[in-house]
């Protein structure tokens, strides 16, 4: 079953036509990377899936429900950004449980979910620390933990690793991959880093100026780029 469906989704900002119209289906459990150069509309598209940006036209479906008029918190999605946006005055555990507490989940259930996420992300020893006492990689893991505890149907990632140094980026890539193998949550991952996309994703969607140039498995796109833009972006074989 398709988890996320975009049907002729468009976006204009004033007179600027940023996304002329995109059709896309993402299967349940699939890991899809939206790739393309800076300014091509990746974040805008992701934000429309999240409900943080209204569509100018077309339909967004999540888990069989048209969500055009559904608020972000009722879309069953969780988003991880490049700026972790953790609450500095709260501990790791409090940061991770914040949305569950807002949703008035039972205390025992909150404790259990936070413990489970902490185990998965190797955060157990850090639960009482404040974000200021963590490294960049640890903070990014807390941000992911905060997303996971809500058991969303869809994870949306917007360049989550771009603030980390190169070495940490590679390590976190592996963690995200492992995490997806464990939880199998449908994931839409935005990046301008083609290597990151190729390592992580089942399928790449290459965007250029708000439209899809080509989509397919990393190997397909690498071996059979449809045009020079894709070849240049993915890096064609010598
Ligand atoms: P990407 O994430 O691929 O770098 P964005 O989705 O952020 O690209 O932006 C796509 C285009 O839309 C850019 O030209 C950007 O300047 C424009 N844009 C994004 N957000 C707004 C906004 N709120 N108002 C006007 N233009 C915007
Ligand atoms: Mg962006």
Ligand nearest to the CA of 158: 2
For the entire predicted model, the pTM comes to 0.92
Residue having the nearest C-alpha atom to atom 16 of ligand 1: 39
Q: Look at residue 7 in the predicted model and tell me its pLDDT.
A: 98
Residue having the nearest C-alpha atom to atom 22 of ligand 1: 13
Interior/surface letters 218-232, b for 16+ CB within 10 angstroms, e for the rest: beebbeebeeebbbe
Q: Look at residue 28 in the predicted model and tell me its pLDDT.
A: 97
Q: Look at residue 236 in the predicted model and tell me its pLDDT.
A: 54
d(CA 222, CA 21): 25
Complex ipTM tops 0.90? yes
Neighbours of 118 (CB within 10 A): 22
Q: State which ligand 1 atom lies nearest to the alpha carbon of 14.
A: 25
Burial class for 119, CB neighbours closer than 10 Å (0-12, 13-18, 19+): exposed
User: How many angstroms is it from 44 CA to the middle of ligand 1?
Assistant: 6
CA angle 220, 225, 229 (to 5 degrees): 140
Contact 31, 200 (CB under 8 A): yes
User: How many angstroms is it from 33 CA to the middle of ligand 1?
Assistant: 18
Residue of 4, 8, 6, 37 lying closest to 20 (CA atoms): 8
Contact 55, 77 (CB under 8 A): no
Q: Look at residue 136 in the predicted model and tell me its pLDDT.
A: 87
Q: Does 40 contact ligand 1 (Cβ within 6 A)? A: yes
Residue of 40, 42, 41, 62 lying closest to 51 (CA atoms): 62
Q: Which residues contact 128 (CB under 8 A, 6 or more apart)?
A: 91, 92, 93
Q: pLDDT tens digits, the chain, 238 residues: what are they?
A: 899 999 999 999 999 999 999 999 999 999 999 999 999 999 999 999 999 999 999 999 999 999 999 999 899 999 988 777 899 999 999 999 998 999 899 999 999 999 999 998 889 999 999 999 999 889 989 998 998 998 899 999 999 988 888 888 898 898 899 989 988 999 999 999 999 999 999 999 999 999 999 999 999 999 999 999 999 888 754 4
């Amino acid at each position: 079953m398709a988890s996320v469906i975009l049907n002729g989704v468009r976006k204009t900002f004033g007179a600027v036509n940023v996304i002329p119209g995109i059709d896309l289906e993402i299967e349940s459990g699939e890991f899809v990377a939206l790739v393309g150069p800076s300014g091509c509309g990746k974040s805008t598209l992701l934000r429309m899936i999240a409900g943080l940006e209204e569509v100018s036209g077309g339909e967004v479906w999540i888990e069989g429900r048209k969500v055009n008029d559904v608020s972000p918190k009722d879309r069953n999605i969780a988003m991880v950004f490049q700026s972790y946006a953790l609450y500095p005055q709260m501990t790791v555990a409090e940061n991770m449980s914040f949305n569950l507490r807002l949703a008035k989940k039972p205390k025992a259930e909150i404790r259990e979910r936070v413990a489970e996420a902490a185990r998965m992300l190797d955060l157990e020893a850090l639960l009482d620390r404040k974000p200021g006492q963590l490294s960049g990689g640890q903070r990014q893991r807390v941000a992911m933990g905060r997303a996971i505890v809500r058991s969303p149907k869809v994870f949306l990632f917007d360049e989550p690793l771009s603030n980390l140094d190169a070495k940490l980026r590679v390590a976190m890539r592996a963690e995200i991959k492992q995490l997806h193998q464990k939880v199998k949550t449908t994931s839409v991952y935005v990046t301008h880093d083609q290597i990151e996309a190729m390592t992580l994703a089942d399928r790449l969607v290459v965007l250029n100026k708000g439209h899809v140039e080509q989509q397919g498995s990393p190997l397909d796109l690498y071996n059979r780029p449809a045009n020079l833009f894709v070849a240049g972006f993915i890096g064609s074989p010598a």
